[in-house]
Structure formats: structure tokens, C-alpha cells
Structure 1
Amino acid sequence: MDRLLITGGRKLKGSIAVSGAKNSALKLMAACLLTREPLTLTNMPNLADTRFLSQLLASLGVEVYWPKGDSECRLNAAELSSTIAPYEQVRKMRASFNVLGPMLAREGHATVSLPGGCAIGARPVDLHLKAFEAMGADLKVESGYVKAAAIHGLKGATIVFPFVSVGATEHAMLAATLAKGETILENAAREPEIADLADCLNKMGAKVSGAGTSTIRIEGVESLNGTTHSVMPDRIEAGTYAMAAAAAGGDVTLEGAPVQALSAMVDALQQSGVTVDTDEGAATIRIQRNGHDLKAVNVDTQPHPGFPTDLQAQFMALMSISDGTSIIRENIFENRFMHAPELSRLGADIQVRGKEAVVKGVEKLRGAPVMATDLRASVSLVIAALAAEGETEVRRIYHLDRGFERLEEKLNGCGADIRRVSGEEE
């Protein structure tokens, strides 16, 4: 199993190109099931998660052309050979569940395994299923599978989400594109990835309006066409490298960054004393910290446009070396402080109290063996290791490979010392 060996204490200097957004790419890939014509996605991130979804789509009969290392993926779902997504495939990645809505809308039926539990909380799919029921689907949950049918097609409906859910918003939007009549999603999530999905769907002939606001309207159409769409840049990757530069110190420019989508993170970094220069026209964010101390900053994770939950672990790593005490509140997911004990192994002073973590900044972190528990937690350990004295060994980095493309290459290009090694772990 691969591990990372990171020698800390090196300032970062240079530029990093931001890859396509994982959270957007996965839902865009599922959209191929809505049309019999080819969907070509450019700026595709080469990740374990996106490659896995391509395998699942292929098992359903989708022709997938995506050469290894290529950033262009061509998906042709002219004929589906199956509408069943088995447990052995869906259990590996939660986003696989999003093939249900498109197949239900197009074929009138689908059987998809429940995604099961998650390392960062239960994250049930109840809202997804209630949305499909509102659109007229008959649903049965049996032996761990959702069996869905809409023999006469889905029908437009008004769906009011009891709380903001990115996954349910995207899934309902996908299915509603082929429903009869208008579907209105109230209390919809406003994440930039939802607007990116809507842009792609509209290029395919859908009629989606309001994406990026709390009310989304979808006027159903009889069929969708193929198109070519560029995946938006990954705001979480950009935010992660921004915090890595702030923690290690130095001068790093992020190229092709979604500047507007990162306003909450930029504000938090500036409050901490980091110099952040943004240029929305050039799509760049420059991070500078040379010698001065970091100030402690409190953050609360919130749905967009608030501080992203997917950057909470990274910010905790940064605050662990700040001057003062910061309070980080996690309002989106339960069990999302599993990185705190691992950061403590590096010398961080963190106390978790329910949804709140109290982080007392320390003068120095010191290298130690640590273990990744989930995707975002794993990269928080990399950030801490870059700022630590000595060598840190990060284990279970398959979590990292799910969401960060060429991480070592990008950071080493700015002066970091990160080596990937293979071998058995104890």
C-alpha cells in the first residue's frame, strides 16, 4: 500500500494549475445517461473516483473513451445494456448512487444499491428518494437496493427540501430534465458545481433556470442531445493548495482558480494574516506568507456561499500553528473531526466537543507517522506535514488519490519534499 514521506520546513514558491472539479465531474458523467448522443467532458480530473464511475457506466452499457492520463472523456450511452447498479460497485463510492435518477427518467425503471454508510456520517439518501416519489416514481427498498419505476414517465412537481442538500439537489435536477411539465426545487443548494451541471444540461437541450439560487426551475423536455462541456475548476483543490502555501510559507500562485467561488476561504485566510491577491479575470489566486505569525480565526462551515465543509480539515491544520485559539464549528457533516487525533500526533493542540473543535496554536509541529481517515482529512495531514519539522509518514493515501490529481507533483514543483513509497504497512 502506498505511503507519502514528507520532509517539512520548506517554503513553497511557484505556480500550481488547478484541475477540474471532482464534485462536478461525477455528476456531469452521470448526465450521459440522459441522452443517446455522445457527451464529451473536457478538463476532466484523472482521479480514482472519476475512473471508478467510468467503470460503473461502462458496466451499464455506456461506451467510454478516456485514455489514461487524458483530460478529455467521451461517454456514449446510445444503448444501455443494464439498468442495475450492484452493491459491489456502488459501495465503493457514494456518488455512484446518482445513476438512479437519470436511468429512471430515461428508461422508466432502475435498480441501484443503497450506497451504505460513510466515514463522515450517515448521509442518508432519503431526500433523493422523496424527490423521485414527488415526481411520480414508485419506489421499493428491498435487500439493500432501491427499485424504482415510472412506467409512464416522471412528472413535474414542486419539491421543498427540508434542509439544503447538494446531492439531492443535483440528483433531482438530473431526473427532472426528462419529466413531463415543470419541476421546482425549493431550498435548493447553491454550490457552484450545481450551476456547472445546469450549464451542461442546458447545452444538452434541457431547460434549467435558477441554478446557483435557492429556487431552481426545470421545464422537462422529451429528449436531450449530446454536447461538449468543460468541467469547472476545483475550488476545493484550489483552497487546499492555498492553505498549504499559507502553512508552509512562501509565494504560490494558483492558475485557473475559481476565484468567486472561494470568497469565504479567501476572507478567512486574509483574517489570519496571509496575503491573498485575487484576479478573477485572469483566474489566479496568489498566496504569500513570509515569516510573520498566523492569527487564529474562528470559522463555521455552512452551505455555499459560506465556508466549505470540504476545507474544514485543511483550515484546522493551518490553525494548529496559529498564534492564539480558534474555534471551528462543523455544521454540515457529523463525525468530520476524525483528523484531529492524527493532527495531534504531529503536536497540534486540539480538543473536540461535539460539533466544535478548539484549536490552540502551537509554535511548531513535528513529523510523525499518521493515518488518513477520509479524503479531506488525508490532505490536512499533508498540509501539517509541510509545516512540521522533520519527516512525516502519511499512511492510507488511497483516500488522497480519490480527490487530488498529481498532488506530489504539484507541490514538489513548488519546492516541497514529498515522496511516494510502496510497501506493506504494519
Structure 2
Amino acid sequence: MSNATVRPLGYDLELISTIYISHSKNSVLPLLVASLMVNDISIIAIDGDHIDDVRTMIDIIQHLGAHCIQEKNRLIVDARDLQNFDANIPECSSTRYSLLLLGALSARLGKSKVALPGGCDLNRPFDFHITCLEAFGNEITVDNRSITCIQKHSPKTEFSLPYPSVGTTLQAIFSTVIGDSRLAIIIRNTALEPEIDDVIAFLNKAGAKVFRDDSNITVIPVGRGSLSAVSHEPIHDRIEASSYAFAAVATRKVVLLKNCPVKLMTQALTILEQLKCIFYIQSEHDILVDGRSIEESDPISVVTQPYPGFPTDLQPILAALCCTLKAVSHIRDEVMPHRTGYVKELEKIGALISSDGNKITIMGFESLSNAVTVNVSAPDLRGGMAIIILAISNGCDIRIESFNQILRGYSRIISNAHILGGAISHEHP
């Protein structure tokens, strides 16, 4: 005799919409750079609808001589014939991850040249990258258009990063993976973000010798041509998943998030718990968020920190959510203190929000007449997403300049906005 247990679901399935989370942008981009050090074929699982930054990086590595073939949900990169070290091209000026080409190309070819980097305008200098490259034996020349890096000396065998940034940590790894196998290079004070460990896993599959011990990373270099064929699936995007979890709460929707890296979302889920939001972790990869269930009078107070602290990338998204609360909330950004350009844009659509240095105070929002379309500008990727979330929450029609900023990290934002209660009409240039 077979038995069955029946429980009422408690939710009308027609009220539940599904949002699929992409592979992590912050893994895929450095993985594409890392594939240039592999003297063979790299297979990287990748979403069919690329975000703009991924398309740009594919264009860059193809310019350098890598052959890229898209097959369904995987990208095949063949860098066996790579000889071009010159990436002084406009595409590099649109993504900050192009800086990583300096270490990767110099490690493989002995020299690299890259256009000055772009990405979000968050007042981030690249001097830490220069310091890191010089520590590992490179001579650096910077002019008003590009950075040139030439291998000249033996690397230091021990170096402490001036700040545990993700980019500088990856730069240090890429600069040392290929070299004198008699050395053991210790990199201290490294960032702990899981995307770095994802790149390390890729490199080690290819034959690299990179080992983490908390914030210290040891690299035993391998000879040129030693990195061999590799296949890898990047982790899914914890920032995108957390953004949509916050968006579901801000818009008071019931949303099933599929392909979430649940174990990497502790900080975001803690915020949901503070708001007494009902959510169900259905597996290691799925979360059902009931945005209708929150306690609106509970204030939020958060300080951003490097991983495993609250991510700076979620700071603007959380601010948009806090605008929908009936309480005064506070955010202090200790990682990117200049990340406040979105504040004046949120004010245009009714947010009662102010910034003082790296401190943001949120006091709710005022309803606006939907008879008027408000013109706003996306100052950066995450700030742009915050604008969309609050506009939907406030029932406000907006026209966004620099909408492409948002597509750099949220490839499905147009369809997902509909799930959250909005409609986006994108005017392609």
C-alpha cells in the first residue's frame, strides 16, 4: 500500500511568476580573460541571452585572436593561436574587466597593451592594479589612451595587496599563474568573493596550481603552454538573484527565483528576515519570495563591506526597497563611498532620500501623478536597476537615459519588469 501526504500550497499558482537567474557576470567576464591563458580549448557554460558586458568581452578576445563559437548554452573559446597583445580598442573602454587583460596577456605573451578602462562611473582608480603588476615583475607605462605592460623582472614571491579588491586579486592571480615553476608566490590580503574562487577552479581544471588559505593565495606558476583544455560552468549570479528578491519585496509580488546561488545570498536573505518577509528555500537553487508579507514599519540599517559582508553592488537596490517602507532606514557604503549618483534620480520619482558622503538616509516616498513622464538617467548599472524598481513600486512612468547601463548586468530586465508589474519599451540606437 502506498501513502501520500497532501498539504495546501497556500498560493494561487497564477499569482506566482518565475524569474531565471543568469550565470554570474562577475565570474563569466574574468573567465573569458582567463581563457586567453589556456593554450587549448576552453568551454564555458553561458546564458544564450548575453548581457552587454559579456558580448563586449567576447568581441575583445576575438580581436586578440581567440576563436569563439556559441553552441546553445555554452561558449567554446580556442586561444591556441593567440599572438596579439594589443587591446587598445574602444571596446575595452566600456568594461573595467578589460584591465585583467594586462596580467593575462603579459603572462602568456610577455607583453600587453589595453585601452584605459570603462564600466560604471564610480570614481574607481586603477592604481592598485598597477602596483600589483609591478610587484610581479612588469614594467608599466600609462598614457592618456592606454596602459602598456611588459614582463621585465622576476616576480616578488610574497606580496600583500593594498586593499582586498576583487579586480586586484584576479590581476595578481593572472600575473603569476604562468612563470617559473620553481617559485611559490604568496599573495596576501586577497578578496574573498566566491567569483574569485570560481576563476581559481577554472584555472586549476586547466592545470594551474592556485591554492587559497583564507585571505592568502599561493600560486605555483606553470610553464607557458602548460594550461590545457578545460570545461567549466560558472556560478550563478548572487547579485542578480538578490536584486530580484529585493525587487519582489519592493513591488509586493510573489516571485519564484530559479537557479539562485542560495548559499551565497546570506546577506540579502538576512534583510528579508529583518522585514519579516516570508520566503521559502525550495532547493539549493530556488527561492520563493512573497513580497506581500513584509512588515513595512521595520527600518533597515546596513553597512556595506567586502565579502562576506553586505555587497556594495546591492546598496542602490536596497535603497529602492527601503523607499517603500514606512520607516527611516540608513545605509553606509564603506566599499564604494562615491556610489550615490542614483540618489538624485530616485528623488525625481518621489523618493524621500538624501546622501551625506557615503551615508544614505531613506524616509519613504511620495506618490507621483502617473499622468507625467519623468526623465531620469541611469548613472550606473545598479543605480539604474534601483530606478526601475522604485518607478514600478511608485506607479511612475519614466524615461531612462543610458538604459544600456542596466543591460550590462540584467539581460532579461525587459521581460522581468513585466513580472514585477512594469512595462519597458526599449528604443534601440
Query: Structure 1 length as normaliser, TM-score?
Result: 0.90
The alpha-carbon distance between structure 1 residues 111 and 290, as it changes in their structure 2 partners (threshold 3 A), is closer
Question: What is the CA-CA distance between 1:283 and the residue it aligns to?
Answer: 1.3
Kept in 1, the 8 Å contact 2:83–2:109? The answer is no
Structure 1 position 65 matched with structure 2 position 69 = yes
- Matched with 2:51 is 47
Q: Which amino acid aligns with 2:416?
A: K
Mapped to 1, the partners of 2:141 and 2:78 lie a distance apart of 29
Structure 1 position 190 matched with structure 2 position 201 = no
The alpha-carbon distance between structure 1 residues 30 and 334, as it changes in their structure 2 partners (threshold 3 A), is same
- Matched with 1:214 is 215
The alpha-carbon distance between structure 1 residues 30 and 193, as it changes in their structure 2 partners (threshold 3 A), is same
1:179-229 CA distance string (max 9 Å, x none): 322221111000010011011111111111117x31111111112112111
Question: What is the CA-CA distance between 1:288 and the residue it aligns to?
Answer: 1.1
Kept in 2, the 8 Å contact 1:344–1:350? The answer is yes
1:12-411 map, 5 Å: 13-44=16-47, 46-66=50-70, 70-115=72-117, 119-121=121-123, 123-150=124-151, 155=155, 157-180=157-180, 181-210=183-212, 213-222=214-223, 223-279=226-282, 281-290=283-292, 292-294=294-296, 295-362=298-365, 364=367, 368-411=374-417
Q: Which amino acid aligns with 2:29?
A: L
- Unpaired runs of 5+ residues, structure 2, are 1-13
Kept in 2, the 8 Å contact 1:321–1:364? The answer is no
Mapped to 2, the partners of 1:292 and 1:266 lie a distance apart of 13
Kept in 2, the 8 Å contact 1:348–1:361? The answer is yes
Mapped to 2, the partners of 1:134 and 1:277 lie a distance apart of 47
Question: What is the CA-CA distance between 1:318 and the residue it aligns to?
Answer: 0.4
Mapped to 1, the partners of 2:278 and 2:245 lie a distance apart of 11
* Matched position secondary structure for 1:111: strand
Kept in 2, the 8 Å contact 1:46–1:71? The answer is no
Kept in 1, the 8 Å contact 2:136–2:175? The answer is no
* Matched position secondary structure for 1:41: strand
Mapped to 2, the partners of 1:389 and 1:58 lie a distance apart of 43
* Matched position secondary structure for 1:20: coil
Kept in 2, the 8 Å contact 1:372–1:378? The answer is yes
Question: What is the CA-CA distance between 1:148 and the residue it aligns to?
Answer: 1.8
The alpha-carbon distance between structure 1 residues 229 and 387, as it changes in their structure 2 partners (threshold 3 A), is same
Question: What is the CA-CA distance between 1:359 and the residue it aligns to?
Answer: 0.7
Count of paired positions: 407
The alpha-carbon distance between structure 1 residues 392 and 12, as it changes in their structure 2 partners (threshold 3 A), is farther
Mapped to 2, the partners of 1:268 and 1:97 lie a distance apart of 33
Q: Which amino acid aligns with 2:196?
A: I
Q: Which amino acid aligns with 1:168?
A: T
1:252-290 CA distance string (max 9 Å, x none): 1211101111101111121123223335x4312221132
Query: Structure 2 length as normaliser, TM-score?
Result: 0.89
Percent identity reads 29
Mapped to 2, the partners of 1:268 and 1:232 lie a distance apart of 22
Kept in 2, the 8 Å contact 1:119–1:335? The answer is no
Structure 1 position 416 matched with structure 2 position 418 = no
Q: Which amino acid aligns with 2:82?
A: L
Q: Which amino acid aligns with 1:130?
A: T
Mapped to 2, the partners of 1:308 and 1:227 lie a distance apart of 30
- Unpaired runs of 5+ residues, structure 1, are 1-10
Kept in 2, the 8 Å contact 1:329–1:355? The answer is yes
CA RMSD of aligned residues (A): 2.2
Mapped to 2, the partners of 1:396 and 1:145 lie a distance apart of 25
Mapped to 1, the partners of 2:426 and 2:80 lie a distance apart of 42
Kept in 2, the 8 Å contact 1:12–1:245? The answer is no
Mapped to 1, the partners of 2:293 and 2:128 lie a distance apart of 48
Kept in 1, the 8 Å contact 2:17–2:255? The answer is yes
Q: Which stretch of the first structure deviates more once superposed, 302-311 or 45-54?
A: 45-54
Q: Which amino acid aligns with 2:20?
A: A
Mapped to 1, the partners of 2:375 and 2:130 lie a distance apart of 42
1:288-314 CA distance string (max 9 Å, x none): 132654222011111001111111101
Kept in 1, the 8 Å contact 2:278–2:293? The answer is no
Kept in 1, the 8 Å contact 2:112–2:148? The answer is yes
Kept in 1, the 8 Å contact 2:110–2:150? The answer is yes
The alpha-carbon distance between structure 1 residues 49 and 255, as it changes in their structure 2 partners (threshold 3 A), is same
- Matched with 1:4 is none
Q: Which stretch of the first structure deviates more once superposed, 414-423 or 188-197?
A: 414-423
Name which structure has the greater RCO, CA cutoff 8 Å, separation 6+.
Answer: 1
Mapped to 2, the partners of 1:130 and 1:371 lie a distance apart of 34
* Matched position secondary structure for 1:361: strand
Question: What is the CA-CA distance between 1:338 and the residue it aligns to?
Answer: 1.0
